[in-house]
Amino acid sequence: MNATIENEKVRKYNLFPTFGDSYGTGWNVMLDNFLRLLLVVFVLGILTGPMKGIQFNLDEGHFKNFPWHWDGSWAQIFGLASVGAFAIFIGLLALAYTFLALPVVRYGAKMIFVESVRRQKPDFEWLIRGFWTNYLNIILANLLVFGLVAIGFFALIVPGIIIACRLAFVP
């Protein structure tokens, strides 16, 4: 155990795989490192929040007053093209962020939670440590899970759900 935790008051708990002991151990771990783990949850929520908020609901009522005919103005065509190019650029940035940066931060957050269960002081460096230690392994594992779930979902819905449940804990 770390020297810093030995000086602090630490709750005694044992890891037994029963229903009540699992929740009791979880509460004790959370109470030992409450502010640190709360900060990790907030940081993870801020970093994963933008990807959960991108939902576009478009229906035909939104385009009722849009001038669909070309009135000879090149500004109209270039305006639409620039909006489309900007949307493609933002979409590519979001895709790169989702597949290349977000899995590393999620991996780091899970490692912080594992450290706290192991009765070690959580180190916030884990949130970015994956970028320089095992970045390729984290990204490839994430892409493999995404690919297997997509193949299982397109083959049949039930195998996709089974694959997603089995691979839910792959960081």
> What SS3 state is found at 133?
coil
- pLDDT value at residue 139: 92
Read off the pLDDT of residues 28-47 as tens digits, 9 standing for 90 and up: 888 888 889 999 999 988 88
* CA–CA distance, 157 with 12 (Å, rounded to integer): 44
CB contact at 8 A, 56 and 99: no
> What SS3 state is found at 20?
helix
CB contact at 8 A, 56 and 144: no
Read off the pLDDT of residues 128-170 as tens digits, 9 standing for 90 and up: 888 989 899 999 998 988 888 788 777 777 777 777 777 777 7
Tokens 């970093």 belong to residue: 47
Residues in the chain, how many?
171
CB contact at 8 A, 4 and 121: yes
Q: Is the per-residue pLDDT at 3 higher than 50? A: no
CB contact at 8 A, 112 and 40: yes
Residue 78 in tokens: 């270039």
DSSP 62-84: GGTTS--S--S-HHHHHHHHHHH
CB contact at 8 A, 2 and 121: yes
Read off the pLDDT of residues 61-114 as tens digits, 9 standing for 90 and up: 666 776 666 677 777 677 777 777 888 898 899 889 889 989 999 999 999 999
* CA–CA distance, 124 with 109 (Å, rounded to integer): 8
Whole-model pTM: value is: 0.69
